[in-house]
C-alpha cells in the first residue's frame, strides 16, 4: 500500500487514465470494424476522416504505437480504394 499522499493520488489518476484509454481504444476499434463492414464507397469515404482522426489521437496519446496507427490507416485506405 502507498505511504505518501502523492502516491495515493498517482494511483487514483492512473486508474482514471487507464479507464479513459480503454474506452477510447475500444470505441476506435468499433469504428474501424464498422468501416470495414461498409460496402458502399461513398459511405466509406464519409467515414474515413473521423476514423483516421480517432486513430491519430490514440497514437498521439501513446495508447497505440505510431507505426500501428500508420499500418491501420494504410490498410483501411486500401480497402476503401478497392470498393
Domain around 41: 26-81
Report how many domains make up the chain: 1
Q: Residue 48: which CATH number?
A: 1.20.58.110
In a domain, 64, yes or no: yes
In a domain, 20, yes or no: no
In a domain, 10, yes or no: no
* pLDDT value of position 70: 97
pTM: 0.84
The answer to whether 28 and 53 have CB atoms below 8 angstroms apart is no
The answer to whether 31 and 49 have CB atoms below 8 angstroms apart is no
Q: pLDDT tens digits, residue range 7-55?
A: 999 999 999 999 999 999 999 999 999 999 999 999 999 999 999 999 9
Name the residue with cell 464498422: 34
Amino acid at each position: 500500500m502507498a505511504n505518501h499522499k502523492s502516491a495515493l493520488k498517482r494511483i487514483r489518476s492512473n486508474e482514471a487514465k487507464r479507464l479513459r484509454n480503454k474506452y477510447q481504444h475500444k470505441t476506435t476499434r468499433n469504428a474501424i470494424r464498422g468501416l470495414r463492414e461498409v460496402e458502399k464507397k461513398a459511405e466509406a469515404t464519409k467515414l474515413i476522416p473521423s476514423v483516421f482522426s480517432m486513430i491519430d489521437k490514440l497514437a498521439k496519446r501513446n495508447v497505440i504505437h505510431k507505426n500501428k496507427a500508420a499500418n491501420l490507416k494504410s490498410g483501411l485506405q486500401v480497402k476503401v480504394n478497392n470498393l
